[in-house]
Amino acid sequence: MEFHHVSVLLNEVINGLDIKPDGIYVDGTLGGGGHSFEIVKRLKGGKLIGIDQDLEAIDKASEVLKDYEENVILVHDNYENINRILRNLNIEKVDGILLDLGVSSYQLDEESRGFSHNKDAELDMRMDSTSSFSAWNVVNEYSKEELEQIIWNYGEERWAKRIAEFIVTERKTKSIDSTFDLVGVIKKAIPKAVRMEGHHPAKRTFQAIRIEVNRELEVLGNSIYKMIEVLNPGGRLAIITFHSLEDRIVKESFKELYKDCICPPEFPKCICDKKREIEIITRKPIKPGEKELIENPRSRSAKLRIAKKL
């Protein structure tokens, strides 16, 4: 299948990164290479490091960026390992980092990857296909309590308890092997009247399982402080999120990094030595405009937040 991914908030990201022609930039979620292409086009003597845990994304991006290969380094890894990646490249600091979170259009549309509740496939959902842990393991091996917690916390699904119960009951008879097997169980768990409301009844559960398989929130939470550390003064971190859980992590992390003192208010003077590390460029997140929403409906929940290293 053709790797197709529409780059979300493209102009806003490029403007927000404030690209210097001789700078070093990291695209931590390379995907189809759309954002990276626009970054590298603006470099003269600078470098772009493209990171992705999906080998198919690396392959596609190498085609997209082939005219600029002397300015591009592609790395198959997870962006949470930014320190090790830069150390291996003998790079100490960079001038900008982009994270475009969530699942790509290609991953959703490619049946065999098992991300979509609308396509029948093996229960997979791995962004890194070299990993041995997949959605099958979550659905068939996690306890009822673990499943409920994941579906509630990561999917914000109010029927989490019933869905977990139905999954555990179903797998006593036979394992749940495909996306449609799982969709069938979820539909049984959610009352018919509720199923008729709004979005697909399996949407939130699929999101939750995908986040668990790929440790998405844990990786994001681990990475923001590391990324600010490896930025040069004046360097920028731009993060696009697609749901409230990711956005909350980014917002709260930026807020902590912006603080100048974390001493209790009753202390007469500061003893914590905490120094403000960033300026928050986006007081409110940037969202797609009307034109982009029409051209790419999948961008509707996107939010861009940008911070500058002091």
- The CATH number of the structural domain formed by 10-100+216-309 is 3.40.50.150
Output the pLDDT for position 2.
46
Comma-separated ranges of CATH 3.40.50.150 domains in the chain: 10-100+216-309
Residue 104 pLDDT greater than 80, yes or no: no
Beta bridge partners of 49: 26, 73
Comma-separated ranges of CATH 1.10.150.170 domains in the chain: 116-214
Tokens of 4: 């197709």
Half-sphere exposure of 70 toward its Cβ, with a 13 Å CA cutoff?
3
Q: How confident is the model at residue 109 (pLDDT cuts 50, 70, 90)?
A: confident
What percent of the chain is predicted at pLDDT more than 70?
A: 98
Beta bridge partners of 231: 94
Q: Are strands 47-52 and 24-27 parallel, antiparallel or unpaired?
A: parallel
List all residues 6 or more positions away from 58 whose beta carbon is below 8 Å from its beta carbon. Answer: 30, 50, 52, 74, 76
Interval 56-97: pLDDT, tens: 999 999 999 999 999 999 999 999 999 999 999 999 999 999
Spatial contact of 230 and 82, defined as CB atoms under 8 Å apart: yes
Measuring CA to CA, how many Å separate 17 from each of 21, 209, 235, 263? 12, 32, 8, 32
User: Taking each helix axis from N to C terminus, what angle separates 179-189 and 160-173, rounded to the nearest 10 degrees?
Assistant: 130
Q: How confident is the model at residue 5 (pLDDT cuts 50, 70, 90)?
A: low
| DSSP code string of 43-96 | -SS-EEEEEES-HHHHHHHHHHTGGGGGGEEEEES-GGGHHHHHHHTT---EEE
Residue 127's SS3 state is coil
Please report which residue ranges of 71-202 form alpha helices under DSSP H: 82-88, 105-109, 135-141, 144-155, 160-173, 179-189, 192-195
Beta bridge partners of 99: 239
- Round to whole Å and give the CA distance between 75 and 57: 11
Annotation: CATH topology of 116-214: DNA polymerase; domain 1 (1.10.150)
Average pLDDT across the chain, whole number: 94
What percent of the chain is predicted at pLDDT more than 90?
A: 86
Interval 179-197: pLDDT, tens: 999 999 999 999 998 888 8
Instruction: Enter the DSSP assignment of 102.
Output: S
The pair phi, psi for residue 52, each rounded to 5°, is -155, 145
Interval 238-271: pLDDT, tens: 999 999 999 999 999 999 999 998 888 888 888 8
